[in-house]
């Protein structure tokens, strides 16, 4: 047999690298690497792009984008290799070799998937980590930008603010979240009552489909372009970059925070808030956080409702508005701060206000272990119901738990449910995300925290949306159900599919069936194709 010299060289390099690192390889692993090395064909590229287990940098590359340490234990399944492409051809090669040699592909952008789906799988897998796909091009003249999927929201906001203080983008509040996963599931933050979700403001995309074709909006067609803007990641293809529409913001916005604990009537004020917040002008964003805090009585705990928000306007306008519509809050000037929109990103991200450079630091905040669940609320919760919710936050497991409750309304009411896969629009007073956190050192006790979150979810049943009980796919919750490793029926996937997407689930299944009928792009809650060839064979 004759091997072309040129192609064999990099393969031999991999062999040398692997033997030096002590890695032992079985056939499929070997075949995959062989396949990739033939396609990369350059030693220095290989060493920058392929990280196999026992490579000295493997763990640091793997851990660099793990944002839930629940999935960072010795028992957590690890990828056989992490591929960090430098260019599009590397992405296509990884796709080609994964398909050819039967490895599941997990695409990772920011690594914030709350169930760890971008870096954990129960079957042999490789991670396609887009950490080198972080370029951002802002065009202020046309009020658009191109953002590669591996860029964080912090990097995006920073790049916009470096050019102008009167344009912004309506996406999430945590600066380390990646564009790739966030835009794929919707994405909301402080501007969503004014401008809708991140996904509502995407006007084009560059994607690689399962056949390795590079597509833009025109060539992928409107069905696929619809599906990738909210239908969940790792399902329709690998999105390399997004073209987004920037939105106008005033040079000065006003942020505010008012804390009310149980002794200060938190329950009554939150109860009242439910009737008012969703009807306020769309220039105002308002979020309530419920947490356990120290009480003024030494050694005692209480529960606090933190009302935090932002007006696209000045402080006088804000105070007049709140005094008129929601005087119970008692908002005063000392609760408010005028600042630029980019400074408000720091404020809502829990970052020090000194320098916006911190938006480029992926390690600015500690990473914890967590479990998240979400709900949508359409009728005000009675005071007695809120009292029960508050009392659950006094339980031991809730030391580091939060219910994050942003008011809906505004632009969200104007966008039809089927405009994009994200269906939770008019009729919602607010969304509630419950997050319980603990340290990595406490992972052995994660069961008690997770069962607290399940009890809270069960407690909330009478007060939240029904038939289906809706949920936000970006706060993914595997308790809602998971795909089988082989074939998953439409009926089975409907259990969680209708919660995330309501009737849009049907169209998502149709698109999936058309673009990826063999179900190559998959994870525990990806959209299954209607009848996979696997099933047709009668297996
Ligand atoms: P990650 O890389 O883990 O990807 C998430 C999913 O998308 C995975 O299934 C992955 O395979 C897939 N995927 C990633 N890149 C892809 C690509 N290029 N092409 C195709 N599929 C891809 N949400 C919100 O709306 N507002 C908020 O303010 C916040 N804040 C927040 C804070 C914190 C601390 C966490 C942990 C989460 C949030 N979220 C949020 C939820 C967040 O929007 C959600 O987890 C996103 O999916 C994360 O996107 P990443 O790219 O970071 O994750």
Q: Find the CATH number of the domain harbouring 58.
A: 3.30.43.10
Confidence at 6, pLDDT banded by 50, 70, 90 = very low
Burial (CB count <10 Å: 0-12, 13-18, 19+), residue 69: buried
pLDDT at 531: 78
Q: What are phi and psi of 112, to 5 degrees?
A: -95, 5
pLDDT at 16: 45
In a domain, 435, yes or no: yes
Residues 70 and 193 in one domain: no
In a domain, 353, yes or no: no
In a domain, 531, yes or no: no
Mean pLDDT, rounded, of the chain: 94
pLDDT at 532: 54
> Which among 402, 426, 460 is the end of a domain?
460
What average pLDDT does the segment 300-309 reach?
Answer: 98
What average pLDDT does the segment 304-331 reach?
Answer: 98
Ramachandran region, residue 153 (left: φ > 0; alpha: ψ -120 to 50; beta: rest): alpha
4, pLDDT greater than 50: no
Residues 122 and 140 in one domain: no
Which of 194, 195, 219, 193 minimizes the C-alpha distance to 206?
Answer: 219
Degrees (nearest 5) of the Cα angle 257, 259, 386?
120
The finding on whether 425 has its CB within 6 A of some atom of ligand 1 is no
C-alpha of residue 380 to centroid of ligand 1, in Å = 29
Which of 466, 461, 485, 479 minimizes the C-alpha distance to 534?
Answer: 485
CA torsion sign for 475, 478, 479, 484 is positive
What average pLDDT does the segment 431-447 reach?
Answer: 98
Residues 381 and 417 in one domain: yes
Question: What residues does 207 pair with on adjacent strands?
Answer: 215, 239
pLDDT at 44: 81
Residues 324 and 211 in one domain: no
353, pLDDT greater than 90: yes
What average pLDDT does the segment 64-79 reach?
Answer: 97
In a domain, 473, yes or no: no
C-alpha of residue 367 to centroid of ligand 1, in Å = 15
Catalytic choice (119, 376, 463, 475): 475
> Which among 129, 158, 184 is the end of a domain?
129
Q: List the beta strands (DSSP E) in 399-518.
A: 401-406, 430-438
The finding on whether 116 has its CB within 6 A of some atom of ligand 1 is no
460, pLDDT greater than 90: yes
Q: What is the pLDDT of residues 129-175, one digit of tens each?
A: 999 999 999 999 999 999 999 999 999 999 999 999 999 999 999 99
> CATH no. for residue 159?
3.30.465.10
The lowest-confidence range among 295-299, 480-484, 506-510 is 295-299
Residues 305 and 415 in one domain: yes
**Pair type for strands 202-208 and 125-129:** unpaired
Residue 142, Cβ neighbours under 10 Å: how many? 9
255, pLDDT greater than 90: yes
* Domain range for 291: 253-339+368-460
pLDDT at 474: 98
pLDDT at 139: 98
108 CA closest ligand 1 atom index: 2
> CATH no. for residue 382?
3.40.462.20
Q: Which two structure tokens, joined as six digits, stand for 208?
A: 């690689």
Percent of the chain at pLDDT > 90 equals: 91
Q: What are phi and psi of 155, to 5 degrees?
A: -65, -40
106, pLDDT greater than 70: yes
| Ligand 1 pocket: which of 63, 90, 118 to mutate (most atoms within 8 A of CB) | 118
Confidence at 538, pLDDT banded by 50, 70, 90 = very low
Which of 430, 477, 389 minimizes the C-alpha distance to 68?
Answer: 477
Residues 106 and 196 in one domain: no
pLDDT at 459: 98
pLDDT at 248: 98
In a domain, 162, yes or no: yes
Q: What is the pLDDT of residues 228-240, one digit of tens each?
A: 999 999 999 999 9
Taking a C-beta distance cutoff of 8 angstroms, is the pair 335, 258 a contact?
yes
Write down the number of H helices and E strands in the chain.
Answer: 18, 18
Helix (H, G, I), strand (E, B) or coil at 168: strand
In a domain, 67, yes or no: yes
Helix (H, G, I), strand (E, B) or coil at 463: helix
pLDDT at 41: 79
- The gap between the terminal CA atoms of the chain, to the nearest Å, is 37
| Ligand 1 pocket: which of 126, 128, 184, 477 to mutate (most atoms within 8 A of CB) | 184
Our count of domains for the chain comes to 3
What average pLDDT does the segment 486-494 reach?
Answer: 96
Taking a C-beta distance cutoff of 8 angstroms, is the pair 511, 209 a contact?
no
| Rounded distance between C-alpha atoms, residue 171 and residue 154, angstroms | 10
What average pLDDT does the segment 55-73 reach?
Answer: 97
In a domain, 481, yes or no: no
434 catalytic residue (yes or no):
no
362, pLDDT greater than 90: yes
Confidence at 13, pLDDT banded by 50, 70, 90 = low
12, pLDDT greater than 70: no
Residue 357, Cβ neighbours under 10 Å: how many? 10
| Rounded distance between C-alpha atoms, residue 365 and residue 349, angstroms | 9
113 CA closest ligand 1 atom index: 3
**Pair type for strands 125-129 and 104-108:** parallel
Which residue's structure tokens are 């629940």? 70
Cα dihedral 98, 104, 110, 111 in deg (nearest 10)? -150
Percent of the chain at pLDDT > 70 equals: 94
The finding on whether 154 has its CB within 6 A of some atom of ligand 1 is no
17, pLDDT greater than 60: no
Residues 295 and 189 in one domain: no
5, pLDDT greater than 50: no
Please tell me which residue, 41 or 342, carries the higher pLDDT value.
342
Residues 83 and 200 in one domain: no
Annotate 62-79 with three-state secondary structure: HHHCCCCHHHCCCCCCCC
Residues 302 and 416 in one domain: yes
In a domain, 331, yes or no: yes
What average pLDDT does the segment 426-440 reach?
Answer: 98
What average pLDDT does the segment 317-337 reach?
Answer: 98
328, pLDDT greater than 90: yes
| Ligand 1 pocket: which of 169, 181, 344, 346 to mutate (most atoms within 8 A of CB) | 181
Residues 172 and 320 in one domain: no
For the stretch 294-303, what's the b/e string if a residue is b when 16 or more beta carbons lie within 10 angstroms of its beta carbon?
eeeeeeebbb
107 CA closest ligand 1 atom index: 11
Residues 142 and 230 in one domain: yes
Burial (CB count <10 Å: 0-12, 13-18, 19+), residue 79: buried
Residues 94 and 214 in one domain: no
The finding on whether 172 has its CB within 6 A of some atom of ligand 1 is yes
The DSSP 8-state label assigned to residue 529 in this structure reads P
| Rounded distance between C-alpha atoms, residue 443 and residue 450, angstroms | 11
C-alpha of residue 155 to centroid of ligand 1, in Å = 15
- Listed in sequence order, the residues at least 6 apart from 486 whose beta carbon sits closer than 8 Å to its beta carbon are 534, 539
The DSSP 8-state label assigned to residue 245 in this structure reads E
pLDDT at 26: 67
**Pair type for strands 136-139 and 167-168:** unpaired
The finding on whether 421 has its CB within 6 A of some atom of ligand 1 is no
> Which among 182, 215, 248 is the end of a domain?
248
Residue 388 CA to chain centroid, in angstroms?
A: 29
pLDDT at 46: 84
């Amino acid at each position: 047999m004759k091997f072309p010299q040129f192609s064999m060289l990099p393969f031999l390099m991999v062999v040398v690298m692997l033997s030096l690192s002590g890695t032992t390889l079985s056939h499929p692993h070997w075949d995959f690497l062989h396949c990739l090395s033939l396609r990369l064909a350059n030693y220095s590229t290989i060493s920058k792009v392929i990280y196999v287990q026992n490579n000295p940098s493997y763990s640091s590359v793997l851990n660099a984008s793990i944002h839930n340490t629940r999935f960072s234990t010795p028992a957590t399944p690890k990828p056989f290799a992490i591929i960090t492409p430098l260019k599009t051809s590397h992405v296509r090669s990884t796709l080609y070799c994964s398909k050819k040699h039967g490895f599941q592909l997990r695409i990772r952008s920011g690594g914030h998937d709350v169930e760890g789906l971008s870096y954990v799988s129960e079957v042999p897998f490789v991670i396609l980590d887009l950490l080198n796909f972080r370029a951002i091009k802002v065009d202020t003249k046309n009020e658009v930008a191109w953002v590669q999927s591996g860029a964080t929201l912090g990097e995006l906001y920073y790049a916009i603010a470096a050019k102008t203080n009167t344009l912004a983008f309506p996406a999430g509040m945590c600066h380390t979240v990646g564009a790739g996963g966030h835009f794929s599931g919707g994405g909301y933050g402080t501007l969503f009552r004014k401008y809708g979700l991140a996904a509502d403001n995407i006007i084009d995309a560059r994607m690689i489909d399962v056949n390795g074709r590079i597509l833009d909006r025109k060539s992928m067609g409107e069905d696929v372009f619809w599906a990738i803007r909210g239908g969940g990641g790792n399902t329709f293809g690998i999105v390399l970059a997004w073209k987004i529409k920037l939105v106008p913001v005033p040079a000065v916005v006003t942020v505010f925070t008012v804390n009310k604990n149980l002794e200060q009537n938190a329950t009554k004020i939150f109860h009242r808030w439910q009737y008012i917040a969703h009807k306020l002008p769309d220039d105002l964003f308002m979020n309530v956080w419920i947490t356990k805090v120290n009480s003024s009585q030494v050694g005692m705990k209480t529960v606090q409702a933190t009302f935090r928000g932002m007006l696209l306007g000045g402080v006088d306008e804000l105070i007049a508005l709140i005094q008129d519509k929601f005087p119970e809050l008692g908002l005063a000037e000392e609760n408010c701060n005028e600042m630029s929109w980019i400074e408000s990103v720091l404020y809502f991200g829990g970052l020090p206000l000194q320098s916006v450079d911190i938006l480029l630091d992926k390690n600015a905040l500690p990473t914890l272990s967590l479990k998240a669940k979400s709900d949508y609320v359409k009728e005000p919760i009675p005071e007695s119901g809120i009292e029960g919710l508050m009392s659950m936050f006094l339980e031991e497991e809730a030391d580091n738990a939060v219910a994050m409750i942003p008011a809906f309304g505004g632009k969200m009411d104007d966008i039809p449910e089927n405009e994009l896969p994200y269906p939770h629009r008019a009729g919602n007073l607010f969304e509630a995300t419950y997050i319980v956190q603990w340290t990595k050192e406490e992972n052995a006790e994660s069961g008690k925290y997770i069962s607290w979150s399940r009890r809270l979810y069960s407690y909330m049943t009478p007060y939240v949306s029904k038939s289906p009980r809706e949920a936000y796919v970006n706060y993914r919750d595997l308790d809602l159900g998971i795909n089988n490793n082989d074939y998953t029926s439409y009926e089975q996937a409907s259990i969680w599919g209708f919660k995330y997407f309501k009737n849009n689930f049907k169209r998502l299944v149709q698109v999936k069936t058309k673009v990826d009928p063999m179900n190559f792009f998959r994870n525990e809650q990806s959209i299954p194709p209607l009848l996979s060839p696997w099933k047709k064979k009668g297996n």
